[in-house]
Amino acid sequence: DTAVSQTPKYLVTQMGNDKSIKCEQNLGHDTMYWYKQDSKKFLKIMFSYNNKELIINETVPNRFSPKSPDKAHLNLHINSLELGDSAVYFCASSQDLLAGEGDTQYFGPGTRLTVL
């Protein structure tokens, strides 16, 4: 049973298009994230939502808009795609951070976005 799932797994599109990536988790977690991994495997957080509310918004262009219809879903919509948006995008989830504990993040399988 998949814990964190993303669709699609691969996405190839032209510059200037608008696309969405969907993420769902069935772990009952309160917090979800989007990360971007570049070609050198460097991983950078983009957004974090807790109970459908935006918590972390790193310096991401406003062409990227996350949407959380409920706490089990966090979708990523990207407008006016650019060549530099090509990367692997990972969704993740975790329980709330507890004082004195390190919270484990559970990652989806990734969506490889290629902008032509």
Question: Under the rule (CB under 8 A), what is the footprint of another protein?
Answer: 4, 31, 33, 40-45, 48, 50, 55-56, 90, 92, 94, 96-97, 99-110
Contacts of 14 (CB under 8 A, 6+ apart): 81, 115, 116
Give yes or no for a contact between 114 and 12, defined as CB atoms under 8 angstroms apart: yes
Nearer to another protein, 15 or 54 (CB): 54
C-beta of 12 vs 15, nearer to another protein: 12
Distance in Å, CB of 16 to another protein, minimum? 29
Q: Which is nearer to another protein, 4 or 74 (CB)?
A: 4
When the beta carbons of 12 and 18 are compared against another protein, the nearer one is 12
Which residues of the chain form beta strands (DSSP E)? 4-7, 10-13, 19-25, 31-37, 43-50, 53-57, 64-70, 73-78, 87-94, 106-107, 111-115
Bridge partner residues of 77 (DSSP): 20, 65
Q: Shortest Cβ distance from residue 113 to another protein (Å)?
A: 15
Alpha helical stretches, state H, the chain: none
Q: How far is the CB of 40 from another protein (least distance, A)?
A: 7
Q: How far is the CB of 15 from another protein (least distance, A)?
A: 26
